[in-house]
Amino acid sequence: MKRISVLFLLVFLSISCKNNGPHSYTKTGKALGTTYQIKYFSSENLNTEKALDSIFEVINTSMSTYQDDSDISRINTGNEDIEVDIHFQKVFQLSKQIFKESNGYFDPTVGSLVNAYGFGPDKPLNEPDEAVLDSIKQLVGFEKVKLTEANTIQKENPDIYIDFNAIAKGYTIDVIAQYLDSKNVENYLIELGGELVAKGENLERESNWNVAIDNPQQTEDERTLQTVLALKNRAMATSGNYRKFRVDTTTGKRFVHTINPLTGEAEKSDLLSASVLAENCTLADAYATAFMALGYEKSLKMLENLENIDVYFIYADDEESIRVFTSTGFEQALR
């Protein structure tokens, strides 16, 4: 699933807001396989580079599936003696919560199915035969994985593969936010790979932080905006793969493929993009992924049972028109 970029709508200026007030600082770079941008206001230069490097290193060591010696990689190869750190524990427990809330559609063990179908932006969908699917389905199901009292991970099958990529970026942003909070920074915007947290205000403009969501009908060669929000003290994540939708050769309808972890089958989904506002970015990141797996109608049902979660859904209706559903809280944030 392609993660949709969210744009900063601000100019990075190294100027003072007021002669004796806090100055603006901007940090940019690459981490966790993507890019990040951080803008904050402080009366002193916090020299955040060292702190950021430390945060990224700790998260990678704990949960990076791209790092062979990380805790999660060693667990995925069958090691049951790894005592996971507090970051892994928090992400695991929250993943369990959303796994239950979504009736199993948010599932960090679904990677084996994703690989079997050959999901990719430019690849035809592979169709595993029934025997292969039956075998792989034994490796899917987050209920088959447990966090023990000793903070080790037990799996019913040693070949179960755990992947927290659908939640780890949001969690990392929250850790960075906690660091800035600890330094008494009251106004900042943190963006990592399209997920973000906005706290306080953009003091240069004396307004809430402005961010935007991509237009789903843009081409690969253009960059246009779907909508703009003014955020304060909220996190946002957007998930979708509408740029790589498929067209049914029989009906001509637009759809995207998503995997149903419960059946192991690739299903057609009319939900093209899900943007989520939440109190923290870990929740926003995970719910955005869950909604994409659920599809439009099931997402609306799940939303009825969630508190302090607001959404902006882009979907294709039965007449193949692009439609938008906006919750009340999200509507209030729109400019």
The pLDDT value given to residue 125: 63
Distance CA 189, CA 155 (A): 38
The pLDDT value given to residue 119: 66
The pLDDT value given to residue 266: 78
Token digits of residue 51: 């702190």
Low-confidence ranges of the chain (pLDDT < 70): 1-21, 119-125, 215-224, 241-257
Domain assignment present for residue 290? The answer is no
Domain assignment present for residue 293? The answer is no
The pLDDT value given to residue 129: 85
CA 28 to chain centre: 19
Domain assignment present for residue 210? The answer is no
Domain assignment present for residue 86? The answer is yes
CATH code for the domain in which residue 160 is found: 1.10.3980.10
Task: Give, for 285, the enclosing helix (H) or strand (E).
Answer: helix 281-294
Distance CA 54, CA 60 (A): 10
The pLDDT value given to residue 240: 79
**Domain range enclosing 87:** 66-164
Domain assignment present for residue 265? The answer is no
Q: Which residues are annotated as a binding site for Mg(2+)?
A: 166, 285, 289
pTM summary value:
0.88
Q: Which residues are annotated as a binding site?
A: 166, 285, 289
Domain assignment present for residue 109? The answer is yes
Structural domain total, the chain: 1
The pLDDT value given to residue 10: 45
The pLDDT value given to residue 12: 40
Q: What is the pLDDT of residues 233-288, one digit of tens each?
A: 999 999 876 555 555 556 655 555 678 899 888 777 788 889 999 999 999 999 99
Q: Would you mind telling me the total number of residues written for the chain in this entry? A: 335
Read out DSSP for 25-93?
EEEEEEETTEEEEEEEEESS---THHHHHHHHHHHHHHH-TTSTTSHHHHHHTT-------HHHHHHHH
Q: What is the DSSP letter of 259?
A: E
Domain assignment present for residue 108? The answer is yes
Domain assignment present for residue 144? The answer is yes
The residues with which 198 forms a beta bridge, in sequence order, are: 189, 234
